[in-house]
Structure 1
């Protein structure tokens, strides 16, 4: 590595010095800020020493990292109005203080470009809102992890994937690095470790980081950000506590209402987390709608609230769909109505449509819910 020095240990100690000048494009305040994190000196061997150190120290995610050098850290700090010692909050499970400097160090290792760094900060601000329940989500046996949904005019410039392959494979720098930076912050600042501080049974691929955008231009509805109270020109990150990526497909339904009905029945699968709860009153499930389906559904449901109400109305299972012992549990929880139906969720707004993906009108995806988490959004601050 250039200069032979880079960042290093868990708990946020991933600082870096290379002896060079700080980035010239940043603010004077960022350039004048003195980095405080410890320094790790490594041989320049094309990055292998850094990679091995990250594996040995447990502060890597198993994939190669970039060196968090002074220049890279200062360039990121220059992209935000927050000073390096500003504390965003305490990241669970070990409640490490997420200073902007430590966030920048992890973002540098993930390869975040300066213009995208405020998205990392916004995502962390959103997941630190108490209603998102970061303590529960970072320690649970579930596979749940923050899934980031981006709205706003900078999606293309930052290479936020929202078209074909937006959940993996499109390889946009913004999507890949922003999501990974948030995951590294939870690991290195928050101390999240599978099998140690996190009791997750399986984990999921999104624990490497998942960030994608909404294809706003192909949506028949107001954007997710608009529906959550933001302006069309705002840059917004919405954080969903998603258990995983649940795909479904259809070529059998020509009428859009039939398609919406099939979606509702599909997401109401018997082992959905919502059926484990006393009520279905908390949490959201995100429904990713490809643009071709979105056009069809928009014709039948010009107002997205009508689509949400229709899905909620039909997202249920008959109590007879469950074996007797299981049915008895659901009955004892008060989940069975007077018509013998077990509703998946309590309210239409808990079904959140987002338009994205390729133009093949065949596939949809549900980002299933942990339930005990409320989706949060934050505006990107520059």
Structure 2
């Protein structure tokens, strides 16, 4: 309930297909991947299917090879001795994503936290559905970030009408993903000379006139600084070189993106990133795309928050982003189970 049921939360918000993201574009015919697309779309859905272990492992190999550029031997090594993990993936789209993208190996402790989030969130959802709202609310009150404005608002809505638990859940699910981003940062190895993270200033970026989130403002400013271009208009003209009839049109569109009133699609973002990297050879723009994806996600999440606020007038669409200042003060490391363990303070939920 407080955690998204599947990564579809991310892909749908970004306007992309989970199967296309993991398997590449759908290709029909002999040697194509259309069967894998159909199979993946049915997994972890209400349309439960029976499947063999080998069929499932073959799907994961088909994801690993194009998505991470892994050869057959590397794929087999990644899956060796992991039958228990593979079985778990059949019931959890999050665990499938972690296994198929090697996130579980890069961030094993955060992966365990995701498992605990899933279990706790499912139990809360079942309690609400079974008219045990007091139990569900009690579990939400024990979240380590329960003192945030977002969770307190959500609790008040659930107390007012338990039926609001589903309709009002987007902001608390977004907040749980922000907690996970902090957990990932805590688990990353630190080395002397590391550059400061880009996430805190991105979440802190605000439109100077409205005070609303302006994650894309941060991204465009980052691109200008990294590319060495003299102005944002110069950035817009290059990034949108294939869009619009003239430079004025491109600049106007770029300013709309930077303001956050419009959010580029993932396909458009890929083209924009490719254009700026091509024009800025010799400059370090290696993180341009991933930072852009995150900026688009945050900006679209804010726009979704505004939609929630239309139904729940007491909700502030900026609340989850303002709550970041509370989240970063949490002892996130204490919530991460020891490596390989299923323990940790999240077990109390």
TM bin, normalised by shorter chain, reads under 0.3
TM-score of the two chains, using structure 2 as the length reference: 0.26
Richer in strand (by share): 1
